[in-house]
Amino acid sequence: MFIGIAALVLAVGAYIYKEGLRPHEILTRLAGSFAFWGATGPQRTITDGSDSKASINLEKVKGGGNGTADGGYIAGLPSRRDKVDMVVVEDEEEDPTTPTAPVKIELSIPDVEVESKGVRSRKGKARRMPDDDSDEDLSVPMFPALNSAQRASKPASVPQAPSLVVPGSMGPPPLPVPKLATGPPSLALPSFAAPGLMPPPPIPMRKPAGSSAASARNAQYARPGGSSSSSLGVPPSASSLAVPPSASSSLGVPKTSSLQLPPTHSQPPPKPRQKVILTPGHSPLDWANHQRNLPFVPLRRIAPSELATHGARKNETKTYWTVLEGKVYDMTPYLPYHPGGEKELLRVAGKDGTKLFNLTHPWVNWDNMLRGCEVGILVSENEMLKKEVTVDSGAGGEEEDLESMD
Ligand code: HEM
């Protein structure tokens, strides 16, 4: 009896020392302990009168002299917390001071959301709660509570039943957690329980290629025969980082190097700029000023045959026309202002230049730039013939019809 009391006092002292409790905290916990031990019979029943958020925090108060590592019984510390943190069950046969009868702790908490993860014995082995009358996971979490990494590695807990029974002698099967020290009582905490010595979080594993949405997106860039860039998840834009063949050969990089990204043929290599040196006074700003001073030309219908007479060759008119999206422009005054040079501009003289224009510089606002150069709209030969018939029959003027078409 005396030894038992001494051991109890030692355990309490060690517990207070370990927890660094202040006097008022000790009193609070003691009060909780008395309330817990005040239960009668071998079964300890803790009932929270409230109907929600009631919980119990069970901690060891008696046993081998330290808080968690070696022996001792459990102190129930009812509190208003949301979770049951731990239930530590003593191995009865190792502590002669405790009754030999199995001790059952029953928590009767109606309508309480209790999250429990497991039961840890005095030797540190976590035990699963035996299947109760329900198939829910009733195990209580170990103390200290699992860290986020440990929680993540466990299956999600299910809501707890209002009644929680912890048999003292017949514990649930052990959980795969590190074993606690079983030597003489000491204040040494197990590695996973020591503050600041929590196991590091698991290293995030990179998902295998092909399983993620990103790799699925990259799959569309994969070459037909399959390429290393798709399996590595390298976006096609990264191909610009590849060593060009000429450089790699001069650097002595073997062409079959696995480090070299495969060449992509999705886009042709960019052409070097072909801007010409314009004669002074022919800058874009000069053209803007010059365009304002161009004489107004009444718009009219123009057939392809007439357009062809304003081509680069066999041109007696000495004016050069082109068509952009159905509009006929006399680009003669613009020739010396064209940043790409007269020669390039004359490639579309006498024909529709829309396609070549858009292939070269689709960003250029031709409609604005050539507004003063517009001479008419392109119509087919048939339409020109019809119109001539109409004009001959005296049904209105040609220019009026063109305006109504606009
Ligand atoms: C007919 C109306 C055209 C207009 C109003 C026009 C206007 C322009 C303008 C404003 C630029 C400078 C673009 C810039 O700096 O970003 C330019 C550049 C150029 N244009 Fe045109 N252009 C025309 C037709 C053509 C055609 C038919 C060709 C034939 C391929 C052509 C070939 C070029 C070239 C090679 C450049 C130099 C591109 C560069 O800066 O690298 N242009 N043009």
The CB of 112 under 6 Å from ligand 1? The reply is no
Q: What is the pLDDT of residues 8-21, one digit of tens each?
A: 878 877 887 887 77
CA angle 103, 8, 106 (to 5 degrees): 25
Q: What is the pLDDT of residues 326-378, one digit of tens each?
A: 999 999 999 999 999 999 999 999 999 999 999 999 999 999 999 999 999 99
Report the separation in Å between the CA atom of 340 and the middle of ligand 1, taken as the mean of its atom positions: 5
Q: What is the pLDDT of residues 61-88, one digit of tens each?
A: 444 444 444 444 444 444 444 444 444 4
256 pLDDT band, cuts 50/70/90, is low
One-letter amino acid at 367 equals D
Report the separation in Å between the CA atom of 336 and the middle of ligand 1, taken as the mean of its atom positions: 12
Question: What average pLDDT does the segment 245-254 reach?
Answer: 50
Higher-confidence position of 188 and 332: 332
Best of 347, 360, 367 for a ligand 1 pocket test (most atoms within 8 Å of beta carbon): 360
pLDDT above 70 (res 121) = no
- What pLDDT is stored for residue 44 in this prediction? 45
- What pLDDT is stored for residue 291 in this prediction? 93
pLDDT above 60 (res 104) = no
Lowest-confidence range among 304-318, 362-376, 381-395? 381-395
pLDDT above 90 (res 299) = yes
Report the separation in Å between the CA atom of 306 and the middle of ligand 1, taken as the mean of its atom positions: 24
| Residue in this structure with the two tokens 């807990």, named with its chain if needed | 157
pLDDT above 70 (res 311) = yes
Q: Helical H runs in 20-113?
A: 23-37
The CB of 356 under 6 Å from ligand 1? The reply is yes
Q: What is the pLDDT of residues 33-72, one digit of tens each?
A: 555 454 444 444 444 444 444 444 444 444 444 444 444 4
Burial of 384 from C-beta contacts in 10 A (0-12 / 13-18 / 19+): middle
- What pLDDT is stored for residue 145 in this prediction? 59
Walk me through the domains of the chain, giving residue ranges and CATH numbers.
2-175 (no CATH), 284-405 (3.10.120.10)
Length, in residues, of the chain: 406
How far is C-alpha 71 from the geometric centre of its chain's CA atoms?
A: 47
- What pLDDT is stored for residue 169 in this prediction? 45
Q: Could you tell me the maximum CA-CA distance found in the chain, to the nearest angstrom? A: 134
Provide the β-strand partners of residue 133: none
Report the atom number in ligand 1 closest to the C-alpha of 322.
Answer: 1
Report the separation in Å between the CA atom of 183 and the middle of ligand 1, taken as the mean of its atom positions: 88
Higher-confidence position of 4 and 401: 4
Q: How high is the mean pLDDT of the chain?
A: 64
Report the atom number in ligand 1 closest to the C-alpha of 363.
Answer: 16
Report the separation in Å between the CA atom of 361 and the middle of ligand 1, taken as the mean of its atom positions: 6
The CB of 355 under 6 Å from ligand 1? The reply is no
ipTM of predicted assembly, 2 dp = 0.91
For the whole model, what pTM was predicted? 0.40
Burial of 382 from C-beta contacts in 10 A (0-12 / 13-18 / 19+): exposed
Whole-angstrom distance, CA of residue 148 vs CA of residue 150: 5
The CB of 360 under 6 Å from ligand 1? The reply is yes
> 214 CB contacts (<8 Å, ≥6 apart)?
233
Question: What average pLDDT does the segment 314-326 reach?
Answer: 94
* Backbone φ, ψ for residue 189 (5° rounding): -95, 150
Question: What average pLDDT does the segment 94-102 reach?
Answer: 49
Question: What average pLDDT does the segment 99-126 reach?
Answer: 45
Best of 361, 368, 371 for a ligand 1 pocket test (most atoms within 8 Å of beta carbon): 361
Report the atom number in ligand 1 closest to the C-alpha of 369.
Answer: 5
Which one, of 123, 118, 125, lies nearest residue 174 by Cα? 125
274 pLDDT band, cuts 50/70/90, is confident
The CB of 358 under 6 Å from ligand 1? The reply is no
What percent of the chain has a predicted confidence (pLDDT) above 90? 24
The CB of 343 under 6 Å from ligand 1? The reply is no
Q: How many helices and strands, by DSSP H and E, does the chain display?
A: 13, 14
Report the atom number in ligand 1 closest to the C-alpha of 364.
Answer: 10
Report the separation in Å between the CA atom of 373 and the middle of ligand 1, taken as the mean of its atom positions: 16
The CB of 348 under 6 Å from ligand 1? The reply is yes
